[in-house]
Amino acid sequence: MAINYVWDVSTVDTYPTKDSNANVVYNVHWRLKATDDTNKDSDGNNWTSETYGSQALDTDSISSFVAFGSLDAAKVQGWVEAAMGADTVTEMKALLKAEITEKITPTSVRKKIS
């Protein structure tokens, strides 16, 4: 099972001005989607799982400020992952993979007795 992870970090909260900088990103609303590139459901779609949240960023010392117009998804994703910490990101990815595995080969199935 090959899992592909894609971040969406396109929605952010900004301070209009902070320390003489404009549009300072201080919070990122993120989604992390996992897609199994190998296995498909009964409709022929790849199995997926997704989680989301928001991550506050430390803006106390803005030594390497990046202008809002120069931001891209890769830069913001890097900030989010750094703020979360590698262990948290690894744990989230493992949970998403486990959710996909459970969808493919469920350990429990709900049924109704008629």
Q: What is the pLDDT of residues 62-76, one digit of tens each?
A: 888 999 999 999 999
What was the pLDDT predicted at 80? 98
Q: What is the pTM of this model?
A: 0.89
What was the pLDDT predicted at 6? 98
Specify the 3-state DSSP secondary structure of 62: coil
Mean pLDDT across the chain, nearest whole number? 96
Q: Are 72 and 34 in contact (CB under 8 A)?
A: no
pLDDT tens-digit readout, 7-47: 999 999 999 999 899 999 999 999 999 999 999 999 999 99
Quote the tokens at residue 87: 């262990």
Nearest to 67 by CA among 7, 25, 10, 6: 25
What was the pLDDT predicted at 1? 74
Alpha carbon distance 24, 52 (integer Å): 22
